[in-house]
């Protein structure tokens, strides 16, 4: 019963996130790449794939889109010219701030029925579940 409730809540949240990101001409994978580069700095495509959990073949398409938009750059890694380093640009950082604001609004909407203390408790419990099952955030 709880797993069904968790699935339904996750589906609603996922739908709202997708709808609102689409309004900004973005997708969750765009956000994942921009946020990861902002948090961790430049990375190889393989590192980005590992950190974002986006399959390498899918990541290439995401990076092509973000590069075309001027939100990331790909340049040969000076330590290993066979791989590219992906770097967040100023435009990418601006887009990330826009997407952060959008996601904060969705977060407030999805969790509106919960008090701040309940939101914190839910975060703690979900983190515990993910940790137990070997998932990382």
Q: How far apart are CA 40 and CA 81, in angstroms?
A: 21
2-132 CATH choice from 3.40.50.150, 1.10.287.80, 1.10.10.10, 1.10.357.10: 1.10.10.10
The reported pTM is: 0.89
Show the tokens assigned to 62.
Answer: 């995401």
Q: How far apart are CA 14 and CA 16, in angstroms?
A: 5
Burial class (CB in 10 A: 0-12, 13-18, 19+), 43: buried
pLDDT digits (tens, 9 = 90+) for 45-79: 999 999 999 999 999 999 999 999 999 999 988 88
What residue spans define the domains of the chain? 2-132
Q: Is 36 helix (H, G, I), strand (E, B) or coil?
A: helix
Q: Is 112 helix (H, G, I), strand (E, B) or coil?
A: coil
pLDDT digits (tens, 9 = 90+) for 12-46: 999 999 999 999 999 999 999 999 999 999 999 99
């Amino acid at each position: 019963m709880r797993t069904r409730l968790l699935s339904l809540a996750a589906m609603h949240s996922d739908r709202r996130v997708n709808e609102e990101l689409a309004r900004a001409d973005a997708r969750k994978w765009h956000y994942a790449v921009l946020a990861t580069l902002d948090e961790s700095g430049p990375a190889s495509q393989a590192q980005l794939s590992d950190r974002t959990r986006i399959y390498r073949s899918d990541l290439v398409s995401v990076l092509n889109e973000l590069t075309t938009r001027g939100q990331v750059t790909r340049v040969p890694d000076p330590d290993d010219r066979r791989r590219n380093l992906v770097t967040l640009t100023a435009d990418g950082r601006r887009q990330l701030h826009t997407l952060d604001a959008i996601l904060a609004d969705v977060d407030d909407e999805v969790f509106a029925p919960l008090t701040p203390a309940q939101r914190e408790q839910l975060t703690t419990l979900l983190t515990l579940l993910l940790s137990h099952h070997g998932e990382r955030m």
